[in-house]
Structure 1
């Protein structure tokens, strides 16, 4: 059982790191974000404060959503297995 817990912990850390990396990349590729960062016509709609207001939430969401999904999956799989006590 200890080995399974170590594997789940390692998978959680890897998913969290991948999510925290992928979420900002997806956020930066969105048309709305590109417009706010200066790719609008003559800087129309430019708002660099999105880096301070939205980016931290994107990184945190990218880190915690995969962990939440992993936790739910582990709990669902754990309930279906009969205990061998």
Structure 2
């Protein structure tokens, strides 16, 4: 099955990559994350398990949420366009 590559496809991939980079950066800037990674008083509350539990979910969420939004917008716009062309 051959697929056409257009601006929307490239834009969705670029947005997904940007989300996968921006989400961990935002996650690392949160005070709760800093406390878990050793920013608490005398390492109080230090818990490195967040690197194995939260970080992969943050990266996946940052990658898939923009992709989901773009897909929904394209589907909604495509559905309207096909109805208008058919009449």
TM-score over 0.5 (shorter chain): yes
Whole-angstrom CA distance in 2 between matches of 1:83 and 1:53: 48
Q: Please state if 1:22 is matched with 2:27.
A: no
Determine the structure 2 residue equivalent to 1:56.
Answer: 56
TM-score w.r.t. structure 2 length? Answer: 0.87
Whole-angstrom CA distance in 2 between matches of 1:79 and 1:13: 21
Give the unaligned 5+ runs of structure 1: none
Give the unaligned 5+ runs of structure 2: none
- Any idea what SS the aligned residue of 1:79 has? helix
Determine the structure 1 residue equivalent to 2:9.
Answer: 9
Whole-angstrom CA distance in 2 between matches of 1:27 and 1:38: 15
Cα deviation for residue 20 of structure 1 reads 0.1
Cα deviation for residue 84 of structure 1 reads 5.6
* Displaced runs of 4 or more, over 2 A: none
TM-score w.r.t. structure 1 length? Answer: 0.89
Between the two proteins, the alignment pairs up a number of residues equal to 83
Determine the structure 2 residue equivalent to 1:73.
Answer: 73
